[in-house]
Amino acid sequence: MTMQSWLQVGVTLAVIFLLSIPVGRYLAAIVTERKTWLDPVFDPIDAAIYRLIGQGAASQPMNWKAYTCHMLATNLFMAILIYLILVFQDYLPLNPLKLPGMAPMLAFNTAVSFITNTDWQGYGGETTLSNFSQMAAITFPMFTSATTGFVVAMAFIRAFIVTDGGANLGNFYRDLVRFTTRVLLPLSLVLAIFMIWQGAPQTLAASVVAHPIQGGEQTIAIGPVASLETIKHLGTNGGGFFNANAAHPFENPTPLSNWLLIGLMALLPSALVVCFGRMIGKPRQGWVLYGVMSALLLLILPVTIAAEQDGTPMLAKAGIELQATAGQPGGNMEGKEVRFGITQSGLFGVITTSFTTGSVNSMHDSFTPLGAVPEFIGMMLQNVFGGKGVGFLAALVYGLIAVFLAGRMVGRTPEFLGKTIEQPEIIMVSLALLIHPLVILAPSAWSMIEPYGLASLSNAAMHGYSEVLYAFSSAAANNGSAFAGLNADTPWYNLALGLVILIGRYPPIIFMMAVAGSVAAKPTLATTIGTLRTDTIKFGAFWLGTILVIGALTFFPALVLGPIAEAFAMHHGYSY
């Protein structure tokens, strides 16, 4: 990495870190319903919404089962609504290009994908969706799916602080409304204007016909881009308005907009960790987790940027300058934009997979093999900060296992935040942990055997396998980015990826909510000299080690077959 590159990365990460502290405090104030200076603005709005939902429903205490059921029912209704809009978009307004309704299988895949914060796209936005669909079926769940992940994490944290045995882990509707109106909506509204200022269009027109100087016509797709783009990153969603996603100059016009989008992806997941520390009244514990996640990020981030700057033998053979110079970026620029170069592309690629957003500003399919490995790792571990709420829960899955292992090693009762962690919790946590590799590895293997799986590959040999592994990792992690050469709009991939997305999302949440219910029913033990402390650097290192060992044991063989084998083949000059 060049000095210039380190500077770009360093300044970006420093700003994210500094912002996550006040934002984390604000989040904690919202969740614990402490007063903020914005209350006079938002209280009347929220009150009106509670009346529409039903006063009783929006104020009843919910235990873990009620909370989970209300969350699932709401997600189900939203998914049906999205599905209907997509299938019947030709009967709905704001469709000047007269685009037909979406095919049912693709609409199922898309509805499932957006309601779960995955935003996997088996279609090209500008050629498939009307502006009404982009707003009412795509922008809409970008808010609610982020909120769902966030409020579930909040209910989970409350399990460790309530004193009523878990009868009240909060009210799902109240949490949902407060997070939407007090965090996502105002931030999106302001920053969408910033995105327009940078050049993102925001219009109800669908296309403009230009007449270039050299003759002919250029039809330019356009639409309400800025409003989608902002919440897409703030909510760690990732589904693009255009096929090229955030690489499209309308979605991401300048280095400054790119920088803002990176910041938006990272802001709330990192602030959530600070919020966690404050909610449980043990900021040190929050910082230990923050440290574990940051260590993972810093471990993988330079790999991508360095590998992309190194380029490939194929580029060298074509006589391309691989060293960065004052006048050109060097490195592997296939599938990258000049305004972002190597550093902003690599940084974006790792952030989008670590914080499981899934937006891309460069084509990951064209990355060097080693440059793509950190992206796989981000999605496979899910807790290099991770997506809204869910990444936090994934980190706690590993944390509870670390507590259990450490407790067993030193012969003490495993304890986390004053609650004993025993067999029932560990069974639930293990189930939550094992679903993820199962839904990545099994369907990947299946796709590599069957002709209908192999027919979709656009690259050969190891790289073709990487396309499939990436797709299922992305679906299971609810990430949504792709090695986009894979033709995913086939019955097999629409169905298989749709199911993987569902299984990757809801069962782990349900298992973790069951852990919350179980933990909340236990008495809180006082910290004594015999307690195995979890808010120390030593335990943080053990937590990190647990993630790395379990993650490596689970996924390393799958990576060896794909990008790692390809890296060796590439350096020996093979092509396929």
Partner 1 sequence: MLGLLLPALRVSLVTWVLCGIAYPLSVTGLGQLLLPYQANGSLVRSPNGTILGSRLIGQEWRGPQWFHGRPSATTASDPDAPGKTVAAPYNAAASGGSNLGPTSRTLAGRLVAERRAAEAAEPGLAGKLLPADMLTASASGLDPDISPAFAALQAPRVAAARGAPVGWVAALVIRHTQGRTFGIFGEPRVNVLELNLDLLASQPPRRGS
Tell me 415's DSSP state.
E
Considering only residues 122, 269, 331, 386, which one is a binding residue for partner 1 as defined by CB under 8 A? 331
With contact defined as beta carbons under 8 Å apart, do 401 and 546 qualify? Answer: yes
Considering only residues 317, 410, 423, 449, which one is a binding residue for partner 1 as defined by CB under 8 A? 317
With contact defined as beta carbons under 8 Å apart, do 543 and 416 qualify? Answer: no
Query: What separation, in Å, do the N-terminal and C-terminal C-alpha atoms of the chain show?
Result: 29
3-class DSSP assignment, residue 419 = strand
User: What DSSP element (H or E) covers 504?
Assistant: helix 491-520
Tell me 170's DSSP state.
-
Cβ nearer to partner 1, comparing 69 with 541: 69
Q: How far apart are CA 129 and CA 101, in angstroms?
A: 9
Q: Is 201 in the site for partner 1 (CB under 8 A)?
A: yes
Q: Is 143 in the site for partner 1 (CB under 8 A)?
A: yes
Q: Is 312 in the site for partner 1 (CB under 8 A)?
A: yes
User: What DSSP element (H or E) covers 220?
Assistant: strand 218-221
* Token pair for 554: 């689970």
Q: How far apart are CA 250 and CA 242, in angstroms?
A: 9
Q: Is 145 in the site for partner 1 (CB under 8 A)?
A: no
Footprint on residues 274-303 left by partner 1 (CB under 8 A): none
Q: Which residue has the tokens 């550093």?
A: 343
The least CB distance from residue 2 to partner 1, in Å, is 11
Q: Is 6 in the site for partner 1 (CB under 8 A)?
A: no
* Token pair for 115: 């309601």
With contact defined as beta carbons under 8 Å apart, do 566 and 417 qualify? Answer: no
* CA-closest candidate to residue 16, choices 350, 505, 513: 350
Q: Is 358 in the site for partner 1 (CB under 8 A)?
A: no
Considering only residues 83, 114, 120, 250, which one is a binding residue for partner 1 as defined by CB under 8 A? 250
Considering only residues 3, 40, 91, 318, which one is a binding residue for partner 1 as defined by CB under 8 A? 318
Considering only residues 188, 354, 494, 534, which one is a binding residue for partner 1 as defined by CB under 8 A? 188
The least CB distance from residue 75 to partner 1, in Å, is 9
Considering only residues 101, 159, 236, 337, which one is a binding residue for partner 1 as defined by CB under 8 A? 337
The least CB distance from residue 431 to partner 1, in Å, is 25
Parallel, antiparallel, or unpaired: how do β-strands 419-420 and 218-221 relate? unpaired
Q: How far apart are CA 82 and CA 138, in angstroms?
A: 8
Using the rule CB under 8 A, give the single segment among 140-148, 385-393, 410-418, 534-542 that binds partner 1: 140-148
Cβ nearer to partner 1, comparing 398 with 493: 493
Phi-psi region of 480 (alpha: psi -120 to 50; beta: other; left: phi over 0): left
The least CB distance from residue 196 to partner 1, in Å, is 4
The least CB distance from residue 471 to partner 1, in Å, is 13
Q: How far apart are CA 359 and CA 372, in angstroms?
A: 15
With contact defined as beta carbons under 8 Å apart, do 423 and 331 qualify? Answer: no
Phi-psi region of 56 (alpha: psi -120 to 50; beta: other; left: phi over 0): alpha
Cβ nearer to partner 1, comparing 351 with 432: 351
Tell me 247's DSSP state.
G
Cβ nearer to partner 1, comparing 184 with 265: 184
Using the rule CB under 8 A, give the single segment among 343-351, 405-413, 526-534, 549-557 that binds partner 1: 343-351
Footprint on residues 465-524 left by partner 1 (CB under 8 A): 466, 483-485
* Chain CA centroid to CA 460, Å: 28
Footprint on residues 207-236 left by partner 1 (CB under 8 A): 207-214, 218-222, 224, 226-228, 231
* CA-closest candidate to residue 360, choices 84, 127, 119: 119
Considering only residues 2, 36, 198, 430, which one is a binding residue for partner 1 as defined by CB under 8 A? 198
Considering only residues 335, 407, 418, 507, which one is a binding residue for partner 1 as defined by CB under 8 A? 335
Q: Is 366 in the site for partner 1 (CB under 8 A)?
A: yes
Using the rule CB under 8 A, give the single segment among 152-160, 197-205, 445-453, 520-528 that binds partner 1: 197-205
What are the backbone angles phi and psi of residue 369, rounded to the nearest 5°? Answer: -55, -45
Q: Is 59 in the site for partner 1 (CB under 8 A)?
A: no
Footprint on residues 68-127 left by partner 1 (CB under 8 A): 69-70, 73-74, 76-78, 81, 124, 126-127
Using the rule CB under 8 A, give the single segment among 31-39, 277-285, 327-335, 382-390 that binds partner 1: 327-335
Considering only residues 151, 153, 360, 544, which one is a binding residue for partner 1 as defined by CB under 8 A? 360
Footprint on residues 528-567 left by partner 1 (CB under 8 A): 566
Considering only residues 15, 38, 57, 92, which one is a binding residue for partner 1 as defined by CB under 8 A? 57
Q: How many CB atoms lie within 10 A of CB 516?
A: 28
Give the CA radius of gyration of the chain.
23
Q: Which residue has the tokens 């104030």?
A: 29
Give, in order, the Cα–Cα distances in Å from 83 to each of 105, 110, 111, 240, 465: 10, 8, 5, 18, 31
Q: How many CB atoms lie within 10 A of CB 377?
A: 24
Using the rule CB under 8 A, give the single segment among 340-348, 502-510, 524-532, 545-553 that binds partner 1: 340-348
* Token pair for 519: 């933990």
The least CB distance from residue 543 to partner 1, in Å, is 33
Considering only residues 259, 404, 543, 555, which one is a binding residue for partner 1 as defined by CB under 8 A? 259
Amino acid 259 reads W
Q: Is 430 in the site for partner 1 (CB under 8 A)?
A: no
Considering only residues 3, 338, 449, 526, which one is a binding residue for partner 1 as defined by CB under 8 A? 338
Cβ nearer to partner 1, comparing 193 with 552: 193
3-class DSSP assignment, residue 224 = strand
Considering only residues 361, 474, 479, 494, which one is a binding residue for partner 1 as defined by CB under 8 A? 361
